[in-house]
Structure 1
Amino acid sequence: MENIYLLMLVALAALAVADLVVGVSNDAVNFLNSAIGSKAISFRTIMIVASLGIFIGAVFSSGMMEVARKGIFVPGEFYFEEIMIIFMAVMITDILLLDFFNTLGMPTSTTVSIVFELLGAAVVMALIKISASDTETIANLGTYINTEKATEIISGILLSVVIAFTIGALVQWLSRLIFTFHYEKKIKNFGALFGGVALTAIGYFIFLKGLKGTPYYDDFKWVLEEQTLLLVAGSFVFWTLFSFLFMKLFKKSILIVVIAVGTFGLALAFSGNDLVNFIGVPMAAYHSYEAWIASGEAASTFSMEILESKVPAEPFLLLIAGAVMVLTLWFSKKAKTVTDTEIGLSRQGEGHEKFSPNVLSRAVVKGSTKLVSALGGMIPQATQDKISASFEKPVVQLPKHKTYELPAFDMIRASINLVVAGVLISIATSMKLPLSTTYVTFMVAMGTSLADRAWGRESAVYRVAGVLNVIGGWFFTAFSAFVAAGTMAYLIYLGKGTAIAILLLLAIGLLIRNYISHKNKSNKVVPHDELKKAESSTVQGIIEESADNVAKAVARTNKIYSSIITGLAKQESSKLKKSKQRVSKLSDEVDDLRNNIFYFIKNLDEGSVRGSNFYILILGYLTDVTQSLEYIAKVSYKHVHNNHKALRFNQIKDLQEIDNSFESLLKDIEEIFENREFEKLGEILVRKKKAFDDISAMIEKQITRTRTEESSPKNTTLYFSLLLETKDLVTALMHLMEEYYKSYSKE
């Protein structure tokens, strides 16, 4: 029997390594975003600095390991056999849950997951023990769970959302009020003072307060507790002098140093606070196994009171964990996916919005707008104007192909993000509270972006929706972690070694599948028929680029239309559903082009105004095409999905005739645009009348059928809808051809 626990320990060690990889992929967002988003220093330098912070922070994390041993449950109430079941259930659940969120590209809280997994598994195991007892009832559940500490941890995590957002917003608003967006001149004058304050805060709270959670704290205790004021004052003088000399000697902004040191400090704080989330449980299992082996008792009778006492640190294991985290940081592609989400939500400029607005985000934005208007009425106009002047953003002119070089936000905001988040996390670490670093860094970033007016009327509803989605994801994590870990614990209790083997194989299979899926998504080549945004600034260039888009749109329209008719003929609901999805994708691409019109017009040469008018009309006609296709796909799918009568043979035959004629027309159009033979468009326009005549003839035939033989009103409605919408589709295409023909004739 002893062998099964040794094997469980080996499995937990392997899961710990995998969990470190998955966890760092998720939490890299916490300490990389500010530096990456500001583009103050190179990506390579950011990675080196963060790696050093992670590695050193791993040594500082031993004080946090107690959370996994006794922070959530009362270990003395469980036997070794039960504790190992809890730990195994927690680790399997944790790795699967975090990998799921990473694959989605959503940052989630590793602290929330581990806390609720421990809680869920411990609650289920306690309920099993209670159900087996003749004297205990559900009221005795509190004896098994460390309710006071668990409540403290959970409430601290929830409270951190409000605190981090509020402090981040307040500090950023004051900093922007002082330095403005045109901060270069003021940084030269007051940068030494700003650097002194920022670096002192980072140094004291992260490097010194963070020591409180380590075994090395006693060596520095007298300095930290008895000479605090002197230490802070000395640090401020040193860092202020350092900032002054740095700017004078190197002629560079001190903000670069603040961002570099802040990244190092935040990575250190992350590692010190969050390492327990990944290896705390396996280390607790290792100590439990050692104590059980030494006792000589049976696994089912050996009480785990040993976990109540302070266990010495395992520096070697902590260093190995630090090395694994550093390697993951450098080689994990998923880390970049997660990082993109937060940078996108906090960026200063416009761009593609990842999240769609919802009822709640609209309500929040609307309510906030009204509140700001009401408060604005209470402040004198002169004061409002002065404040607004501090928030005027500089206009940066860059060629369109170089817009990717613009930072997501400036160095002032990056510095505040790092300082505030680092200070809050290190305070929690010194109190031995496993604060969610993801909660804190994300909400600080959202607070600073809000204070910086990055959430304008154009983007607020999307950004708020994104924040709500991420926060909702965290709460979903809590619920999922609790239920999943509890379920795992129960399954392991029932199946013992067999259940563990099956669950481990399942976990490995899911991890491999998610890895392959994410890799395929990362390596995905842009489809050759995807529409592209116009980048030309001349009329001729616009005509050329638009011709490519028209050719692609026409080719896809042809395939989709034929697929719909085939799906109707064969009554294939799945084929029609797929056609709906393909139309939706085409429609989204056209919408993206329309959303880019503002930037397109801004990028035009002075003499190319006519080109903008042409481009807007082309997009309008493409929109009409997609709308007609969407309607045809929707009504066809609805008809078949609702199991209505199939179209009659004659109706299908007529539709196939139209499809064949339409296919011939669209192929000719596609060829003309691919080969740029615009002189042949005149021949296409001549065929417009025949296309309309064919559709009118089909309508007449259906009217006759309806009066004599048709018995299904649903069929008649669908058939007329298809014919009329096809006519609108042809009309939109012909308008597009006419516009091109006119532009070609004028050249």
Structure 2
Amino acid sequence: METIYLCIVIFLFVLAVFDLIVGVSNDAVNFLQSSVGAKAASFKTVLFIAGIGVFIGAALSNGMMDIARHGIYQPQHFYFAEIMCILLAVMLTDVVLLDVFNTMGMPTSTTVSMVFELLGGTFALALIKVHGSDTLGLGDLINTDKALSVIMAIFVSVAIAFFFGMLVQWLARVVFTFNYKKKMKYSIAIFGGIAVTSIIYFMLIKGLKDSSFMTAENKQWIQDNTAMLIGISFAFFTVLMQILHWLKVNVFKVVVLLGTFALALAFAGNDLVNFIGVPLAGYSSFIDFTTNGTGTSPDGFLMTSLLGPAKTPWYFLFGAGVIMVYALCTSKKAHNVIKTSVDLARQDEGEENFGSTPIARTLVRFSMTLSNGISKTMPEGMKRWLDTRFRKDEAIIADGAAFDLVRASVNLVLAGLLIALGTSLKLPLSTTYVTFMVAMGTSLADRAWGRDSAVFRITGVLSVIGGWFITAGAAFTICFFVAMVIHFGGTFAIIALIGLAIFSLIRSQVMYKKRKAKEKGNETIKQLMQSSDNTEILELLRKHTREELVKILAFTEENLERTTTAFLHENLRGLRRSMGAVKFEKQLIKQMKRTGTLAMCRLDNNTVLEKGLYYYQGNDFASELVYSIGRLCEPCLEHIDNNFKPLDAIQKGEFSDVTEDIVYLLQVCRHKMENNDYEDFENELRKANDLNGQLSHLKREELQRIQSQSGSIKVSMVYLTMIQEAQNVVTYTINLMKVSRKFQAEE
């Protein structure tokens, strides 16, 4: 029996390794977003500094481990077998859940996932125990007070982080303005002194007060001399920052890099429990059972020992630090998650990754009404003065950066303070929630959410927050059922669930690689946005346009054939699939037009006047192709969904033949555009004219049938619509090829 549980403990540690890797991939955004977004240093330098912080924080972490031992469940009422069941369910759920979010590029909370997984697993076993006992209640088995305080701390931190991020950034911008280099003659010393003192105080005095190297004597001495330490630190760092400023050192960069180190250290100290706390609790339980449970079955040995404080061996902390640093430096998914957060916080407009939702539109309208109301009550002089402090055209932003160093400094200092404060209070605040909401608050205060981008940014923020709630619900629900399966299924269920988890991780990795391969086309637009050479921009725009228009032609080809085939065979599922594809493609068209317009703005006036018309016409014809497929599919779907009479054999044969010819024309045009080869294009022009002639002939024949009343009027209506939209597809395809040839032509 001990052998089985030893294997479970070993497997828990194996899962912990994977959990560390996927967890760091998710949480890297917390401490890298600001320094990467502001380009405070090279990416390798930022990673090196963050890696040191993560390693030190992990190696010195110990105080938070009690959350996994007795923070959620009451171990004195659970037997060894039940505790192992809960812990195994938590780890199996956690690894898979975090990997799914990383693959989607959505930042989520490792703290929330662990807490709600523990709640879900404990609730499952508690229900079973309460059902079989006359004395125990749920309150005896679940630490409801602690669980509630943890949950409240997590969600309240969202509002607190956003509010203080907005407030502190607004004050910082009023002091420094966007042209901060002209406004920091003496204020930079005070700002630097406050920032560095805050970082040092919370990092060393608060954030690490429960670390393994802190003795009772050290804690008491620090507590007795707190005021003196703060005063000396503030005076020293204020003078030091002024000297560095006189030496032409950018103090904001110093603050950002030090803040990155501090936040990485606080992250490791606060969140390490999320990755190894559960396996360590399992290890302690196993040691206690094998030492003191001789002659007792796993179902009869109570785990009272878990009520004691955690004493984590140094080699576990050291090993966890090494794995975290390795994951930080090598994970591509970490970069994907960072991109989502940086894009939502960037100062300028660009390619928006999220669409628009009714909630976002309502919030924007409400905010504008509120802003206008406040503006009317302010004196004109104050409004003019504030406008001089928020002139975004004077912003000093590094090449390729998303925002400036002032905002990056506020992000890091404020997030570090809140997280370290949570650590000192033994509250497992979500570092993801705090850092993300601070970043959103500072970007709002910086007026980064303009009228043309606010609705997209708010949609993105709401999507991320919605993902957090999904994390909580999914973690609780999945772990609840996994714990139930393990409890009733025994060894067989454990093996099956382990196999399922491994399959899920492998499948997730394969899907991620496929998705990244599809996104390679976005590299062209990224290069375009970073280039400043007009000739290079034009060539990249031509390449990007070819890539996008080829996708449109491929979409038209696929869905014209699918819609026609599904309608002729009365395949309702195929028609619904085509309709769904049209809705999705319409969103991509909007995004393509927006991105293309931003790219066109980077060309000089002569090039825009010469090539711009062809570019915009190409986008319009591409849009019409998508809308034509929609207008073709919609009546076909309604016709089949209502079980109306199908086309007769003659109509099916006629339209089927002409559709094959149109699909072939689309294939030829797509290959020509893909290869940028428009030779012998006159052949396609003649073919298109012939096809339009055939379709006109079909239309006349159908009108004659209507006049002779030889068929169903509903069938005739849908058939005429199909002919008309097929003609539109042919016409728009040829027009698209014509303007594309002119846009791609070298003068």
Maintained 8 Å contact 2:117/2:479: yes
- The answer for the alignment partner of 1:194 in structure 2 is 191
State the Cα deviation string for residues 26-47 of structure 1 (Å, max 9, x = none): 1111111111111110111111
Is 1:443 equivalent to 2:437 in the alignment? yes
Change (3 A) 1:582 1:154: closer
Question: Alignment RMSD, CA only?
Answer: 3.2
- Give the equivalent residue in structure 2 for 1:270: 267
Give the whole-Å Cα distance in 2 for the aligned partners of 1:171 and 1:428.
Answer: 19
The alpha carbon displacement at 1:178 in A equals 0.6
Query: 1:698-737 to 2 correspondence within 5 Å?
Result: 698-706=698-706, 708=708, 711-733=711-733
Q: CA deviation at 1:745?
A: 13
Give the equivalent residue in structure 2 for 1:351.
350
Residue 522 of structure 1 aligns with which residue? Answer: 516
Q: Which runs of 5+ in 1 are unaligned?
A: 399-403
> How far apart in 2 are the matches of 1:504 and 1:81?
18
Aligned position for 1:401 = none
Partners of 1:438 and 1:156 in 2: CA distance: 13
- Does 1:317 find its partner at 2:316? yes
What's the CA shift for 1:556? 5.5
In structure 2, distance between residues paired with 1:85 and 1:9? 11
Q: Does structure 1 retain, via aligned residues, the 8 Å contact 2:528–2:541?
A: no
Q: Which moved more, 1:81-90 or 1:271-280?
A: 81-90
Equivalent runs, 1:407-556 vs 2, <5 Å: 407-524=401-518, 526=520, 553-554=552-553
Aligned to 1:203: 200
Alignment: residue pair count: 737
Aligned to 2:220: 222
Deviation digits for residues 669-701 of structure 1 (CA, Å, limit 9, x no counterpart)? 667767878797778767776554432321222
Aligned-partner Cα distance in 2 for 1:432–1:745:
66
Q: What is the distance in 1 between the residues matched to 2:61 and 2:744?
A: 70
**Does the C-alpha gap of structure 1 residues 551 and 445 become closer, same or farther in structure 2, counting only changes over 3 Å?**
closer
Q: CA–CA distance in 2 between the matches of 1:548 and 1:304?
A: 62
Distance change in 2, residues 1:243/1:3 (3 Å): same
1:154 to 151, 171, 192: 151
Instruction: Please identify, of 494-503 and 692-701, the stretch whose mean Cα deviation from structure 2 is larger.
Output: 692-701
In the other structure, the counterpart of 1:389 is: 388
Contact kept? 1:270, 1:437, Cα under 8 Å: yes
Where does 1:7-18 land on structure 2 (aligned, <5 Å)? 7-18=7-18
- The equivalent of 2:360 in structure 1 is 361
Q: How does 1:604-615 map to 2 (within 5 A)?
A: 604-608=603-607, 609-615=609-615
Residue 332 (structure 1) shift: 1.4
Q: CA deviation at 1:555?
A: 6.2
Matched letter for residue 158 of structure 1: F
Q: Give the counterpart letter for 1:105 in structure 2.
A: G
Shift of 1:580: 4.8
Name the stretch that deviates more: 534-543 or 700-709: 534-543
1:458 partner SS: coil
CA distance in structure 1 between the aligned counterparts of 2:130 and 2:209, rounded to whole angstroms: 38
Q: 1:707 to 1:469 in 2, by over 3 A?
A: same
Query: Any conservation in 2 of the 1:531–1:552 contact (CA below 8 Å)?
Result: no
One-letter amino acid of the counterpart of residue 318, structure 2: L
- TM-aligned CA deviation for residue 422 of structure 1: 0.4
Counterpart CA distance in 1 for 2:664 and 2:508 is: 43
- More moved, 115-124 vs 610-619: 610-619
Structure 1 position 734, deviation (Å): 5.6
Q: Distance in 1 between matches of 2:135 and 2:675?
A: 86
> Which stretch of structure 1 is more off in the superposition, 684-693 or 46-55?
684-693
Cα shift at 1:417: 0.6
| Pair 1:20–1:531, CA change in 2 (3 A) | closer
User: CA 1:534 to 1:663, structure 2 compared with 1: closer, same or farther past 3 Å?
Assistant: farther
Give the Å deviation of 1:189. Answer: 4.0
Q: CA deviation at 1:558?
A: 4.4
Matched-pair contact (CA < 8 Å) for 1:108–1:438? yes
> Is contact 1:188–1:253 with CA below 8 Å preserved after alignment?
no
**SS at the partner of 1:301?**
coil
What are the Cα deviations for residues 476-535 of structure 1, in whole angstroms up to 9, with x where unaligned? 11111111111111111111222111111111111111122212323447479x999999
**Does residue 336 in structure 1 map to residue 335 in structure 2?**
yes
Q: 1:550 to 1:423 in 2, by over 3 A?
A: closer
Q: Which amino acid in 1 is paired with 2:729?
A: L
Unmatched tracts of structure 2, length 5 or more? none
Contact 2:117–2:476 (CA under 8 A) maintained in structure 1: yes
Higher alpha-carbon deviation: 157-166 or 5-14: 5-14
Whole-Å Cα distance in 2 between the matches of residues 533 and 707 of structure 1?
Answer: 59
Taking structure 2 as the reference length, the TM-score comes to 0.91
Task: Find the aligned partners of 1:543 and 1:259 in 2 and give their Cα distance.
Answer: 35
Separation in 2 of the partners of 1:214 and 1:677? 67
Tell me the secondary structure at the aligned position of residue 211 of structure 1.
Answer: coil
Q: Deviations over 1:102-127 (max 9, x none)?
A: 11111111111111111111122111
Q: Please tell me the residue identity of whatever aligns with 2:120.
A: G
Query: Partner of 2:79 in structure 1?
Result: 79
**Which residue pairs with 1:373 in the alignment?**
372
* Structure 2 counterparts to residues 591-602 of structure 1, below 5 A: 591-602=590-601
Distance change (3 Å), C-alpha of 1:667 and 1:6: closer
Q: Which amino acid aligns with 1:334?
A: K
Check conservation: 1:191, 1:253, Cα contact below 8 A: no
Is 1:244 aligned with 2:238?
Answer: no
**Shift of residue 50, structure 1, vs aligned partner:** 0.8
Offset of residue 302 of structure 1: 1.8
Shift of 1:197: 1.1
Aligned counterparts of 2:737 and 2:710: Cα–Cα separation in 1: 37
SS at match of 1:187: coil
> Is the CA contact 2:178–2:390 (under 8 Å) kept in the aligned structure 1?
yes
CA 1:284–1:666: 2 relative to 1, 3 Å: closer
How far off is 1:607 after superposition? 2.7
Deviation at 1:310, TM superposition (A): 1.9
d(CA) in 2 for partners of 1:744, 1:437: 49
Q: Within 2, Cα distance between the matches of 1:261 and 1:527?
A: 36
Pick which of 387-396 and 727-736 moved more: 727-736
The SS at the match of 2:348 is coil
CA, structure 1 residues 294+708, in 2 after alignment: closer, same or farther (shift >3 Å)?
same
Letter in structure 2 aligned against 1:236:
F
SS in 2 for 1:377: helix
Q: Please tell me the residue identity of whatever aligns with 2:476.
A: F
Distance of 1:542 and 1:321 partners within structure 2: 44
Q: In the alignment, is the contact (CA less than 8 A) between 2:63 and 2:310 conserved in 1?
A: no
Residues 1:178 and 2:172 aligned together? no
Q: Which residue of 1 aligns with 2:230?
A: 232
TM-score by length of 1: 0.91
Whole-angstrom CA distance in 2 between matches of 1:544 and 1:303: 70
- The alignment-based identity, stated in percent, is 40
> Residues 697 and 744 (structure 1 numbering): CA distance in 2 closer, same or farther, change over 3 Å?
same
